[in-house]
Structure formats: C-alpha cells, structure tokens
Homo-oligomer: A and B are copies of this chain.
C-alpha cells in the first residue's frame, strides 16, 4: 500500500461490493478507508477486515474528510440521493451501473457532479472487461476498417436469481433492462462510437410470478452508420455461455450439472424468504468469490468491420479477417476488475476521465428507456442524449 493510494469510502456492502472485493483487496493503488451500510453485520465485517470507519448512512460517509472517492454500490433507486450526498461532500464518485433509474435523476446527478467539480464514473460494468477494451483498440487501429454491424446476445438465468421485491418492479429499476441490458448497451455503444441515433425494440414479460421484463430484442443504429442487434433473455433456459467457451459471466467454468439450479432453488422457498436468500450473497455472510481463470464477459458479441469480424471471447478477441483468422489475447489480471481501478486512479490522480462518465451512463440509460418505450408504443424512438467515447467529446 503506497502512502498516496486513493482513499475509497464504500456506500453499500451488498452483492455489488462482493463482486468488487477481490479487486479492492489486491490493488495497492487504492485503500478502503470507510464504509456506509444499514446492516450492522456488514459494517462489523468491514471494520474487521479493513480497519476503516463505518457509518449507517451515506450522508455521514460523505462528510468523512479522509475519503477521496465514494464507491456507490447501493440499490439502483438510491443512486441519485447518494451521488448527490457524495458530490456535496466534494468526493469523486464511482457509481455502480445503472447510473440511475429515471432520466430526471440521471440529469440531476450529472449536474451535481459537474457543479461540484468531481469525477463521476459509472462502473463497474462489463464495458470495462479487457476483451472489450482490446476490441476497441483493434477497431481504433483502423486495420480492419469501419465498424458496420454488431451482434450481441445473452441468455442467462437472471430473472431467477434471488431478488428483493423491487428488483421485479420495472418502475423501481427492476427487470433485465436496468440491471443487465445496461451492460450490453454500454458495450455496444463503446464498439460503435457511442452516439446512437435510434432504437426499435420488443420486450417480453412472460412469467406472471415475476412480472417484469425478462427479455428483449432491440435494433439500434448509430450516427457512425453502424447498426446493432441486441438480444437478452433472463428466463433460465438456453445458456449462451456455451458459445463463450463454457465460461460464465464472472470468468469461472460453467458446468452442465448446474442446469436449472436457479429455478429449482427458488421453487420451494417460503414467501418472503427470497430477499433473505439474496442477503446470503452479501458481504460478511461468509461466501467469497473465487479467482477466475478467464475474463468476465457479457455473452457472445460479434463486431463486423469492413475487413474482419471480431468475436469477443472470455480470453480475448478472435479476428476473422479476409483470408486468415487469428487470436489476440486480452490481459488477465488476478484482480478481475482492475480496469475499473485504472479508471479511478486516472480520474482522481491525473484528472483523466474514462469513457464511462456520468454523461455516458445517462446516454446508456436513455437507451434502456427507449427500449421500454419502443416496445410499449410500437415505434422507433429517436435518441437525444447520446455522447461519444472520448472524454473530450463527453465534456464538450
């Protein structure tokens, strides 16, 4: 640990924080110095492991003078209030995706961070995955010509993982759009230059017991001329990880024996027990993530350029060029979300923004809403809040 490590305060010690833990533990460039969480057990576990100060509210955490940046890992619908508190405290902010649920909240958060002169980074998200960055680098090299078409699909068991009640209510940010679609949208926007022009989509809410969107198909087009097809199903049937070398979203091996487990685990639960089951996946509950052998990913993604198709894999990018195919390996770090820390350090120490700023997150959120609106109104939605991939463009 160096003496000038970025001092991070954590708001929320739930599932999102758990997924960042291996990265936080292993990166000497940052130090966890404080946390806010409503559960005493989580706060005690944090104090025991990191020796930091803990608070019951984010409001208090934001006043801690020893904190450079607050990582907001609270439920979606609380992001706006917590970003506001952090900005008022003059803290830089890393906020988990999605930036917010409502566009009004997103506007407020972008304005609050800009007024306070603090960095607002939206992450982690799978747009930080090393194979995505490698694909961007390959695209920007110009070697393969312009990006023309992107195909992104993901079939998961998302809807049957343990949920709090609001995670199944669309208006509170539940369903697959805000939690899952946002990853796919972020990645596709990064690969196509960021500025989407329109979205036409259909959504499906097919299980009356979990009455929120569990699936969608969306067709997007971009100012660059590229277009993209995005498909997601969280209904726990086909698992598209079989097209990602049998590697799961978090980089670990996927075994056929696990088939149907998510649905089976829920089936015999008493009413009300589901939220409790989710809390077993929180910090201090004794479960620890494993160090993965592959990068994280968000399902099969194919990028068609003029002179090659790029296929993202959990290990890198397969290049299908005019006359030969080849493979470029992406870096695999023991701390799987190191690129998020890279972004945090660059922002706090050098004032360099990643692509994934507040404005970027707002643009991706706009696409989530456009998918819902397009499906409901049966029309193409024109987008008005888009931004490009470079910080210069974002801040212009």
* Chain B residues with CB below 8 A from A238, complex form: 302, 304, 309, 311, 318, 320
> Taking A228-B217, A237-B309, A320-B237 as contacts, is the C-beta distance between A148 and B206 under 8 angstroms?
yes
- Please encode chain A, from 303 to 334, with 1 for each CB lying within 8 Å of some chain B CB and 0 for all others: 01010110100000010111111000000000
Q: Which of B201, B218, B233, B243 contacts A243 (CB 8 A)?
A: B243
Q: What CA separation (Å) do A42 and B228 show in the bound complex? A: 44
Which A173-216 residues sit within 8 Å CB-CB of chain B?
Answer: 198, 200-202, 204, 206-207, 215
Contact of A202 among B227, B308, B322, B325 (CB under 8 A): B227
**Bound form: Cα–Cα A243–B207 in Å:** 28
* Contacting residues, chain B, for A227 (C-beta < 8 A): 202, 204, 217
A231 interfacial contact with B, CB 8 Å? yes
Q: A259 at the A/B interface (Cβ < 8 Å)?
A: yes
User: Taking the complex as formed, is A389 at the interface, i.e. its CB lies under 8 A from any CB of chain B?
Assistant: no
If A264-B323, A322-B260, A323-B260 touch, whether A217 touches B237 (CB-CB below 8 Å) is: no
Q: Is the CB of B215 within 8 A of A201?
A: no
Cβ-defined partner of A259 (8 Å) among B217, B236, B264, B325: B325
Q: Which of A215-260 contact B (CB under 8 A)?
A: 215, 217-219, 221, 227-229, 231, 233, 235-239, 243, 256, 259-260
Instruction: Check B215 against A304 for contact (C-beta < 8 Å).
Output: yes
Counted per complex, copies of this chain come to 2
Interface residue total, chain A, C-beta cutoff 8 A: 49
Which residues of the other chain, B, contact A239 by a CB distance below 8 angstroms?
Answer: 320
A218 to B259, alpha carbons, bound, how many Å?
31
The 8 A CB mask of A143-175 against B (1 = contact, 0 = none) is 000001101010100000000000000000000
A151 to B219, CA, bound (A): 13
